[in-house]
């Protein structure tokens, strides 16, 4: 293998929209003034740090991708690794990676990116000082041999098919980070933008990096503002105080946005995966028939039509249609409340009078839109006799509960399902959160299946794509039968842009890769890059 350089509903929504539009017409002067300060992107969650070795939140990953560069990038149209800091990566054997770095790569402080920076980044992840949640990458490496500042060889202890994708981790400067658990502020990377300032965890300002190997970006001042309220983000767009919002405006608001002069809506398929997760240690939910009844009891098509305005695709598993390892021939769970009731009866939870069969707590984040979707799911399940109480929490509290297994049912999204090795992180029994794995495993529902463990281990060792596809085909079939998750949908990427923004595109993983080449409104094409 060789990599070389790449040649309730509508009425309520209308009422909210009217309120927002009315408010936006009041505050335009201030919004215009804000717009002159730079190219503003609104995001809906606070980043949890800007060190690539600790990026476990989507918000962090999106900003880190602009500040840091890895040996490869997976922010590509098909999710396949493409060379970035590396000039070439040769793989003469399944365990050997011979890397040549580019000779025009620099950190933001002017120091060159060299082999010892890569070695430090990748081989200290599991150290007592760093203790990165990505320590597995470090454990895979048997040896790291440096020939000179531009050439080195990585030898793995055993074949690991997704290792090339792991080389997308942003490289940090050894001369600044060594001896520290996290790199000191300000963050220094080798990406297209350099860090300028931040205001708490609510506003981040980046500047273009003049010496970026891919060419200096056209945006002179890039501002990320964290706006957690859905309506406030829409107000900012309508009031002209932002140039871009991606996947952070309720689809219910799209009609008014499309009808607003000066705004443009773009949509694209994605690798996002939204699911309903179960705690399989719960006395009721450990019964597979109950989980199947819940799957049959949710009218997913109606939710996509009414809540997402059609901007989502039904999911049959974690991988989206179009992914190279996608398997379509799996058990399906179309809306069938009659079958749901029968399965619940068979599971021993018969309906008696007006009383529910049983009760479940449905934990969700505080997002108004996500809660409204959860309420609709709960409504569907009440129709088959399950009493569901939706409870929403601030993100930190909510996610802490989910990671520790303190939930019954929940809904979450994997925002970037690129390599099928993610199945291991989510469903292998070794990744049930524990003190030993620093609670880093994502098998939060405690799913256990020895056959799945065996297949997932084989899938990570196998480097032939066709054979990997066959392995993960079996994985998808078993998971669709066992139902540790109910697969809901793959939400489309939705970007709302200020008119005049040029050359912005969306990748399936919804990162901000395109900002490297995006031209802001009013850009002079005669200007130097």
Q: Write down the pLDDT at residue 436.
A: 65
At 437, the pLDDT band (50, 70, 90 cuts) reads: low
Alpha-helical regions (H) of 4-80: 10-24, 28-35, 58-67
pLDDT tens for 91-100 read: 999 999 999 9
What are the residue ranges of CATH 3.10.105.10 in the chain?
Answer: 273-491
**Cα dist. 173→48, 138, 210 in Å?**
20, 17, 18
Q: How many alpha carbons fall within 13 Å on the CB side of residue 407? A: 28
pLDDT given for residue 461 in this prediction: 92
How many C-beta atoms lie closer than 10 Å to residue 223's C-beta? Answer: 20
CA 106, CA 357: separation in Å to the nearest integer?
Answer: 63
What is the structure's pLDDT at 404?
87
Residue 526 confidence class, pLDDT cut points 50, 70, 90: low
Q: Which CATH superfamily is domain 69-177 in?
A: Dipeptide-binding Protein; Domain 1 (3.90.76.10)
- For 456-471, the pLDDT digits (tens) are 999 999 989 999 999 9
pLDDT band at 230 (very low <50, low <70, confident <90, very high): confident
Task: Pull the structure tokens for residue 210.
Answer: 């003049």
Query: Whose structure tokens read 């007006």?
Result: 354
- Reported as a pLDDT band with limits 50, 70 and 90, residue 395 is confident
Compute the distance between CA of residue 477 and CA of residue 321 in angstroms, rounded to an integer: 15
Class of domain 8-50+191-268+493-516: alpha beta
Chain region(s) in the chain for CATH 3.40.190.10: 8-50+191-268+493-516
User: Picking from 245-254, 260-269, 312-321, 428-437, which range would have the lowest pLDDT averaged per residue?
Assistant: 428-437
Q: What is the pLDDT of residue 255?
A: 86
For domain 273-491, is the CATH number 3.10.105.10? Answer: yes
Give which of 315, 274, 330, 326 is closest to 79, Cα–Cα: 326
Find the mean pLDDT for residues 389-401.
Answer: 92
> Residue 391, Cβ neighbours under 10 Å: how many?
12
Q: What is the DSSP letter of 244?
A: E
Residue-wise pLDDT for 301-358, tens only, equals 999 999 999 999 999 999 999 899 999 999 999 999 999 999 999 999 999 899 999 9
Instruction: Decide if pLDDT at 31 tops 50.
Output: no
Residue 208 clears pLDDT 50, i.e. is over it: yes
Span(s) in the chain for CATH 3.90.76.10 = 69-177
d(CA 365, CA 397): 9
pLDDT at 88: 98
């Amino acid at each position: 293998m060789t990599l070389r350089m790449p040649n309730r509903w509508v009425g309520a929504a209308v009422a909210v929209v009217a309120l927002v539009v009315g408010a936006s017409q009041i505050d335009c002067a201030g919004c215009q003034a804000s717009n002159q300060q730079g190219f503003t992107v609104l995001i809906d969650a606070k980043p949890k740090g800007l060190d690539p070795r600790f990026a476990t939140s989507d918000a962090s990953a999106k900003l880190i991708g602009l500040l840091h560069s890895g040996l490869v990038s997976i922010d590509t149209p098909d999710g396949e690794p493409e060379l970035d800091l590396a000039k070439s990566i040769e793989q003469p054997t399944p365990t050997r990676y011979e890397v040549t770095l580019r000779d025009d790569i620099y950190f933001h402080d002017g120091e060159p990116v060299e082999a010892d920076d890569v070695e430090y980044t990748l081989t200290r992840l599991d150290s007592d000082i760093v203790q990165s949640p990505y320590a597995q990458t470090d454990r895979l490496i048997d040896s790291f041999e440096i020939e000179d500042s531009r050439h080195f060889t990585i030898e793995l202890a055993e074949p690991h098919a997704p290792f090339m994708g792991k080389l997308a981790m942003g490289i940090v400067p050894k001369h600044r980070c060594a001896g520290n658990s996290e790199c000191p502020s300000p963050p220094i990377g080798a990406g297209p933008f350099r860090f300028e300032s931040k205001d708490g965890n609510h506003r981040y300002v980046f500047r273009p990096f003049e010496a970026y190997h891919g060419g200096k970006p056209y945006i002179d001042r890039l501002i990320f503002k964290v706006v957690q309220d859905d309506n406030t983000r829409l107000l900012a767009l309508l009031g002209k105080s932002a140039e871009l919002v991606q996947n952070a405006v309720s689809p219910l608001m799209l009609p008014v946005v499309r009808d607003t002069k000066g705004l443009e809506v773009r949509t694209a398929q994605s690798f996002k995966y939204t699911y309903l997760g179960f705690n399989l240690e719960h006395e009721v939910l450990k019964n597979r028939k109950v989980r199947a009844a819940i799957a049959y009891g949710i009218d997913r098509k109606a939710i996509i039509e009414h809540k997402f305005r059609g901007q989502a695709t039904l999911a049959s598993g974690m991988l989206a249609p179009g992914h190279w390892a996608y398997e379509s021939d799996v058990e399906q769970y179309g809306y069938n409340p009659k079958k749901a009731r029968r399965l619940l009866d068979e599971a021993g939870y018969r309906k008696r009078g007006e009383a529910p069969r049983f009760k479940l707590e449905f934990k969700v984040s505080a997002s108004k839109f996500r809660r409204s979707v959860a309420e609709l799911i709960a409504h569907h399940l009440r129709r088959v006799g399950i009493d569901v109480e939706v409870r929403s929490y601030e993100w930190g509290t909510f996610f802490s509960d989910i990671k520790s297994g303190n939930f019954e049912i929940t809904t979450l999204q994997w925002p970037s399902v690129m390599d099928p090795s993610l199945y291991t992180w989510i469903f292998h029994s070794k990744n049930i959160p524990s003190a030993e794995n620093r609670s880093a495993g994502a098998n939060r529902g405690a799913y256990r299946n020895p056959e799945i463990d065996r297949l997932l281990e084989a899938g990570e060792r196998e480097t032939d794509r066709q054979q990997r596809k066959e392995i993960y085909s079996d994985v998808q079939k078993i998971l669709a039968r066992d139902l540790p998750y109910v697969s809901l949908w793959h939400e489309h990427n939705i970007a709302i842009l200020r008119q005049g923004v040029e050359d912005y595109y969306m990748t399936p993983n919804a990162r901000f890769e395109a900002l490297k080449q995006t031209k802001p409104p009013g850009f002079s094409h005669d200007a130097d890059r």
